[in-house]
Structure 1
Amino acid sequence: MKALLVLFILVIWLVLDFILGRKQHLKRLKVKIYPQRASDINPFTSGPELFKDYFNELRKAEKHIHVLFYILKDDAVGYEFLSILEEKAKEGVEVRLLLDWVGCLKPKRQIKKRLQNTGIELAFSQTPTFPFYFYSFHTRNHRKITVIDGKIGYLGGFNVGKEYINLDKKLSPWRDCHIKIKGEGVQDLQDVFLADWQIAANIRLQYRDPYFPPLEKGPYQHQVIPSEGFYLEKTFTDLIRQAKNTIIIGTPYFIPGKNIFSELEAAIKRGVKLEILVPGKADHPLVKEASYPYFRKLIPMGAEIYQYQKGFYHAKILIIDQKVCDIGTANFDKRSFYLNHEINCYTYNPAYIQEVLKIIRHDQQNAKLLKLKDTQHLTPWTICKEYTARAISLFL
């Protein structure tokens, strides 16, 4: 009896913690929308190719390096990355490294010990705090941002670790999408990083001239939009409502929730073709079970669901009518819509969108078209897993 009472009190506490924490979060939230910029943007889908370019650019830094990752693994790739930062700090380059508290929870102690007395400034983002510990534990900083000398920026789906360069047999090869930005848009990445840095490290560096050098225009019109557990759903909803011909989604986790899903259904009913590309194998428990109830409804309506077969698919891409292309850190799931801090880049240049579309078509060729019957092999065990996935889908 006592155990049941304790369990009841615990459940009530968690529910109240989440509701009140969410209310406080939304009350403090400030939506930030940057203007359209013109930059040169280069997408990367291969980890080895990306990190070769990324590490080379880090080594050429002259003034400052600002880095934010959700995950930094305690492995050979992670330590190569840290070694480069250490070398640059010894040369007098300002280096600031911001990591998510939960995403880097396991190697946090090793990283802090490694970076002691190196000159690198280290901080951890989104540290859980009372009185709403449970809610704050789940509001992760899922952004991946690098800004070098205020002139070169990176953002996208890759973190730092061996799996991202195809050295983990279970998830190899890793298929993702990261973009490199040169031009006006870099100032917005810098602004987002410095705002996150101020919160995590309690140091205000925004608006200092050294971090915002003059930038030239590039060929691609684009817009950087950060989100913090709010606004992303509205952005995607507006884009889906504008669709007249096609909606193409690439995501490792398709758990859209009621509102976005209703918009996708409405789009199909008005004649829009919906294509969704997801992994063939999941990297987290219950993710597939959370997706299948949506797929069972979409497939009979004419949606095409592709399951990537050549490794693990982790890219976050949204293309609307070949007029708007989004690449960023946000998954097409409730966690990114309602909890995570994310950053996405929306691009409007036809030539760039065609380049990304070629990437999608190539990946679809390495995917299996999901059929309705493939989602209907329900056993008592799979039914139980789907009900569990539905109950905790916000936290997957």
Structure 2
Amino acid sequence: MTKSIFVAYLFKGLALFLILFFIFNTYNIITNKDRLWGNSQESREYLDQLIKVSGIDLEEFEGGKKGVSKLIQKRANFYPTYGNKVTLIEEEENVFDDIFEAISNAKDSIHLEFYIIRDDRIGKRLKSLLIDKVNEGVEVRVIYDSLGSHNLKSEYKKKLKAAGVQLKAFNPPLKALLKGSLNYRNHRKLVIVDGETAFIGDANIGDEFVESLENIPFKKSLQLKIEGLAVNWMQKVFLMDWYFITGEKLDDKKYFYSGEELGEAKVQIVPSGYQRDGNIMNETYFSLINEAQERIYITTPYLILKDGIIQSLRLASLRGIEVNLIVSKNTDLFLFDWSNRSNFGPLLEAGVDIYKYENGLLHAKALVIDDSISSIGSTNFNSRSQFLDYEVNVIVFDKDLSKHIDEFLEELKEKSSKLTLEEYKSSSVLVKIKEKIGRIIIPLI
């Protein structure tokens, strides 16, 4: 057999493997989700009994707020809370400074969960800090996604474990392949300190969230610091993940906040995954958009969706709602760029304002409705994030926070170029071909 024939057969075999792998995983996603994680009933009973937090009487909400909150409550069994203090963290130099300051002040427990942890300057700073806290007698638990953090060096993990940090990987690739669950990734970003202070947003542990690197563009992030009863529900999300990875039930009251009200914000956490229908984030976004009466603001690196939300944005604009969409001019993969652009035409024709952020990769994921409801978290506006990945967002019913996020988004618009319908229609034939390809591959990414 000649070398060229061997290579041809090798590529054919690889292509067949990839096709069969995709079909196998897709089959599991559609028909066999509960089996992937063991006893569904037992899991639900434990998780639902894990925490009992006072909720808000839904009658306190007006109009669309009540409907959105009720949807989340029914679909996720996560209730709204009151008396929360919510702080927006938008400046890149503060993203990790605020988190590390909270960690350094920890007295009892530190729980971290990230899709990506890098062994870079920020990662080394985190490692040193966590080791110091363990030596002070603080419980430290860390969850990372095994595929997202595949470049994390074994030496980094060994030092953490040797010091006493409880470090666990979510869904290791080999086990995931055998279970047909490789498509399920943990994309959450959570930090919970002493059950009292929490951080949620889109930033992973990496230098690219504070500066541009040689091979990785600067990533513009948006984080929230939360204090109050809502932290209990974020803690519940972490403990859910810890239980499914380790089988260890952590239900000590010391992990939960029972203090006084610290602010005025009403907050509701929205998790996805673990026998809860995988489209809860899609439904939440869809419901928020449909409840808008005046204005919609969206920022996301990816706009890679099926027709449902795209159509709801079109209809919102056609019924007179101001719709502002800010996306990255360039994402981290050219195929994503093509898929993003494939949705621009129908939106522009309906009057949606589209802005392309040019100062790095816009990694922030935010949705603001009528200057009164805000959604921040790890969930992108793409099919994978809304139907497959394990995500967590926070919905804040607070006009002051919405105003602050609006100001942040207005600054992003100033650093972006507006795409007009005329410019879009005058695109070259090559660009239009790329759009067609991008449209075809949307269901796969």
Tell me, yes or no, whether TM beats 0.5: yes
Q: Which runs of 5+ in 2 are unaligned?
A: 1-7, 45-74
Deviation at 1:204, TM superposition (A): 1.4
The answer to whether the aligner puts 1:199 opposite 2:244 as a matched pair is yes
Q: Tell me the amino acid that sits aligned with residue 25 of structure 1.
A: K
Deviation at 1:160, TM superposition (A): 0.8
Greater shift, 158-167 or 172-181, is seen at: 172-181
Q: Is the 8 A contact 1:21 1:132 kept in 2?
A: no
Corresponding position of 1:81: 126
Deviation at 1:73, TM superposition (A): 0.8
Q: Distance in 1 between matches of 2:134 and 2:443?
A: 40
Q: TM-score normalized by structure 2?
A: 0.82
Q: Is the 8 A contact 2:335 2:438 kept in 1?
A: yes
The answer to whether the aligner puts 1:354 opposite 2:354 as a matched pair is no
Give SS of 1:310's match.
coil
Are the structure 2 counterparts of residues 169 and 366 from structure 1 closer, same or farther at C-alpha, using a change threshold of 3 Å?
A: farther
Q: Tell me the amino acid that sits aligned with residue 225 of structure 2.
A: K
Deviation at 1:145, TM superposition (A): 0.5
Q: Distance in 1 between matches of 2:180 and 2:294?
A: 39
Are the structure 2 counterparts of residues 26 and 254 from structure 1 closer, same or farther at C-alpha, using a change threshold of 3 Å?
A: farther
Q: Tell me the amino acid that sits aligned with residue 70 of structure 1.
A: Y
Give SS of 1:341's match.
coil
Deviation string, structure 1 residues 197-231 (Cα, Å, up to 9, x no partner): 111122111x2111114132222111111112321
Corresponding position of 2:54: none
Are the structure 2 counterparts of residues 224 and 18 from structure 1 closer, same or farther at C-alpha, using a change threshold of 3 Å?
A: same
Corresponding position of 1:124: 169
Give SS of 1:99's match.
strand
Q: Tell me the amino acid that sits aligned with residue 96 of structure 2.
A: F
Q: Distance in 2 between matches of 1:288 and 1:150?
A: 40
The size of the alignment, in residue pairs, is 394
2:22 to 14, 32, 44: 14
Map 1:221-232 → 2, pairs under 5 A: 221-228=266-273, 229-232=278-281
Deviation string, structure 1 residues 289-312 (Cα, Å, up to 9, x no partner): 101121111112111001112333
Q: Distance in 2 between matches of 1:313 and 1:134?
A: 34
Deviation string, structure 1 residues 235-274 (Cα, Å, up to 9, x no partner): 1111122122221111011112122112222222222221
Give SS of 2:204's match.
coil
Deviation at 1:131, TM superposition (A): 7.8
Q: Is the 8 A contact 2:201 2:224 kept in 1?
A: yes
Are the structure 2 counterparts of residues 278 and 135 from structure 1 closer, same or farther at C-alpha, using a change threshold of 3 Å?
A: farther
Q: Is the 8 A contact 1:127 1:136 kept in 2?
A: no
- RMSD, aligned CA: 2.4
Q: Distance in 2 between matches of 1:128 and 1:276?
A: 35
Q: TM-score normalized by structure 1?
A: 0.92
Q: Distance in 1 between matches of 2:336 and 2:350?
A: 22
Q: Distance in 2 between matches of 1:118 and 1:131?
A: 28
Are the structure 2 counterparts of residues 26 and 199 from structure 1 closer, same or farther at C-alpha, using a change threshold of 3 Å?
A: closer
The answer to whether the aligner puts 1:64 opposite 2:109 as a matched pair is yes
Deviation at 1:6, TM superposition (A): 7.7
The answer to whether the aligner puts 1:324 opposite 2:373 as a matched pair is yes
Corresponding position of 1:216: 260
Give SS of 1:88's match.
helix
Deviation at 1:44, TM superposition (A): 0.9
Deviation at 1:383, TM superposition (A): 4.8
Q: Distance in 1 between matches of 2:296 and 2:423?
A: 23
Q: Distance in 2 between matches of 1:208 and 1:94?
A: 13
Deviation at 1:284, TM superposition (A): 2.3
Q: Which runs of 5+ in 1 are unaligned?
A: none
Are the structure 2 counterparts of residues 2 and 169 from structure 1 closer, same or farther at C-alpha, using a change threshold of 3 Å?
A: closer
Give SS of 2:304's match.
coil
Query: Identity across aligned pairs (percent)?
Result: 27
Deviation at 1:350, TM superposition (A): 1.1
1:144 to 189, 208, 212: 189
1:282 to 322, 327, 331: 331
